[in-house]
Structure 1
Amino acid sequence: MIVILMARACNVHSNKEGVLLPAQRSIAMISEMIHTASLVHDEVIDDSDTRRGKNTINKLWGEKKAILAGDFILSAASMALARIGNNTVVSVLSQVIEDLVRGEFMQLGSKENENERFKHYLEKTFKKTASLIANSCKAVSILVNSDPEVHEIAYQYGRNVGIAFQLVDDVLDFTSCANRLGKPSAADLKLGLATGPVLFACQQFPELHAMIMRRFSSDGDVDRAWQYVLKVRRICVVYRQVNLMKTCPGAAFIKH
């Protein structure tokens, strides 16, 4: 939907009708196929049994068939991409697949230097999530406009939406229940992943550093890290309420 809306916006901006070009619709379909294939492979890597409350392909049919299914979807997407016949678009969307793989490799490691961790986390987030949206938005703009500045604007919009989406998703892993998420809560911690909330909590509770480096593998690490993150959340809520009461006389009444 994001890619379709970006395509229509670019068409109007280029003094064309908002109706989608066939190639733009194909890019939207290809983007969804790449996304789906990446999820199928992710479930195998994460050994997940459910996704959005339903059994995963690897749970139903086994890892081998799940991997082959993901590969098949990617091959179909590649064939559809080739049929568009625009070399620049092919190059842009091919970058997405490379980024997905590199992002997965980045997720396997942790930075020893605490100052580099958040940068590493954001770069991994871009490659695993935002690159798909950014490059897909850029691809549909290329088809109707030759201005590199327009291409960059479309790319940056997709990049920011993608990163914001993943940041919110990482927060929900700590603040929402499994029924709402469609996946088990604290799933990232159980996989040994230190997402944004954990990295912020580590600034307040340095004892998290050792847990991050051993990827929460010791007994009790997941529960302790969870509690630290929730403590930081409570501190932030209290801080916001105190500042709201200072700036808004009716804040206490509104709160109750």
Structure 2
Amino acid sequence: MILYNKLLSSIQYDLEILNKNLKKMVGPKHPILYAAAEHLFNAKSKRIRPAIVLLAAQVSMQETSVLSEHRRLAEITEIIHTASLVHDDVVDDCQTRRGVETVHSTFNTKVAILAGDFLFAQASWYLANLNNLEVVKAISKVITDFAEGEVRQGLNYFNSFISIDDYIEKSFYKTASLIAASCKGAAMISNANKEIQENFYLYGKHLGLAFQITDDILDITGSKDSLGKPAGSDLKNGNFTAPLIFALQEKKELYEYINREFKNKEDVNEAIEIIKNSQAIQKAKDLAREHIQASLQALKKQHECEAKKILESISISILYRLS
């Protein structure tokens, strides 16, 4: 968190405005939905996604001031991300996120689903008002991708035959798609050429995948205090990620835990120890590193400026989360 704050210090003022606007955008139209939305936006958050959008805008504008449409896209990106988290928490029955009670545990499941739908609807409204059809198409696809990713994940709970390719594809739908489309959208608003738009898409895609892989490693190696939720949550929910998939190639005893769906009291903790005592964590780190390198490669031809250096530093900093 401290590392990201340092990297984003140059756009701190923009992020403060964004935080204020997020609360205005949800609007107090219904007390319960507004309370749920306010609860979400008051939660501890790095706002890394809108920050990346603003930085991509600065690079693609080649030092010309970013536009109000860029700022609105950054806000839309954070609202869509937040809406997806609300629905994810309901599906996975998470009680806390970032150390704060989730919406469905604070209110109830019905309110949480409605709050998520409400946020998606608000994001769609503000997206339409950008008056940029290509950006609308790009970002609208993300909401479809979220649903696709959630369905794929749901159909593969406790599926020990899931491959790394399946995992990467699902991770793209659930995480990387939004960052990729938002970065491309920023370049579109800047009227950048198609090659620049595509490079920003690739930057966001690979950055998003690296983020997800890193999060999944931390779900195994982190503590409840650092994660804001119990370690091994993915294992318990039957959501199999890179560390487990790699560990299954080496530690066949893990199949016993999977077959009984980690029902015994110490199953999750024991499985975590088995994964840690394999080559799986290192293999997952190597996979994250590959995507970090791909994100940096996508930035190579972009305009040299401070914002580009920060985007590069964000990519490189991902692995520091694991140290």
Give the secondary structure class of the aligned counterpart of 1:84: coil
Alpha carbons of 1:113 and 1:231: their partners in 2 closer, same or farther (altered >3 Å)?
closer
Alignment match, 1:75: 121
1:2 aligns with 2:52: yes
Alignment match, 1:86: 132
Where structure 1 has 5 or more consecutive residues not aligned to the other structure, the ranges are 238-256
Q: Distance in 1 between matches of 2:107 and 2:159?
A: 39
- Normalised TM-score (structure 1): 0.84
Alignment match, 1:216: 261
Q: Distance in 1 between matches of 2:233 and 2:214?
A: 15
Alignment match, 2:272: 226
Contact 2:244 2:280 survives alignment (8 Å): no
1:43 aligns with 2:89: yes
Q: Distance in 2 between matches of 1:217 and 1:186?
A: 10
Q: Which moved more, 1:217-226 or 1:92-101?
A: 217-226
Alignment match, 1:144: 190
Alignment match, 2:61: 11
Alignment match, 1:180: 226
Q: Distance in 2 between matches of 1:126 and 1:234?
A: 21
CA displacement at 1:221 relative to structure 2: 4.4
Q: Distance in 2 between matches of 1:209 and 1:122?
A: 21
Give the secondary structure class of the aligned counterpart of 1:72: helix
Q: Distance in 2 between matches of 1:112 and 1:236?
A: 22
Q: Which amino acid aligns with 1:2?
A: I
CA displacement at 1:228 relative to structure 2: 1.8
| 1:153 maps to which of 192, 195, 199 | 199
Q: Which runs of 4+ in 1 moved over 6 A?
A: none
Alpha carbons of 1:235 and 1:29: their partners in 2 closer, same or farther (altered >3 Å)?
closer
Contact 1:44 1:63 survives alignment (8 Å): yes
Contact 1:192 1:215 survives alignment (8 Å): no
Q: Distance in 1 between matches of 2:280 and 2:208?
A: 27
Q: Distance in 1 between matches of 2:281 and 2:141?
A: 41
CA displacement at 1:222 relative to structure 2: 2.8
Alignment match, 2:238: 192
1:30 aligns with 2:76: yes
Q: Distance in 1 between matches of 2:101 and 2:277?
A: 33
Q: Distance in 1 between matches of 2:100 and 2:159?
A: 37
Q: Distance in 1 between matches of 2:247 and 2:280?
A: 11
1:201 aligns with 2:247: yes
Give the secondary structure class of the aligned counterpart of 1:25: helix
Alpha carbons of 1:34 and 1:236: their partners in 2 closer, same or farther (altered >3 Å)?
closer
CA displacement at 1:109 relative to structure 2: 2.9
Q: Which amino acid aligns with 1:35?
A: H
Give the secondary structure class of the aligned counterpart of 2:277: helix
1:109 aligns with 2:109: no
Q: Distance in 1 between matches of 2:99 and 2:168?
A: 28
Q: Identical aligned pairs, as a percentage?
A: 42
CA displacement at 1:209 relative to structure 2: 4.4
Give the secondary structure class of the aligned counterpart of 1:232: coil
Give the secondary structure class of the aligned counterpart of 1:85: coil
- Normalised TM-score (structure 2): 0.67
Contact 1:138 1:152 survives alignment (8 Å): yes
Alignment match, 1:240: none
Deviation sequence 1:51-88 (CA, Å, 0-9, x none) = 11111111111000111111111111011000001111
RMSD: 2.2
Q: Distance in 2 between matches of 1:215 and 1:68?
A: 34
Alpha carbons of 1:215 and 1:102: their partners in 2 closer, same or farther (altered >3 Å)?
farther
Q: Which has more radius of gyration?
A: 1
Corresponding pairs, count? 231
Contact 2:247 2:280 survives alignment (8 Å): no
Alignment match, 1:66: 112
Q: Distance in 1 between matches of 2:221 and 2:204?
A: 26
Give the secondary structure class of the aligned counterpart of 1:119: helix
Q: Distance in 2 between matches of 1:118 and 1:109?
A: 16
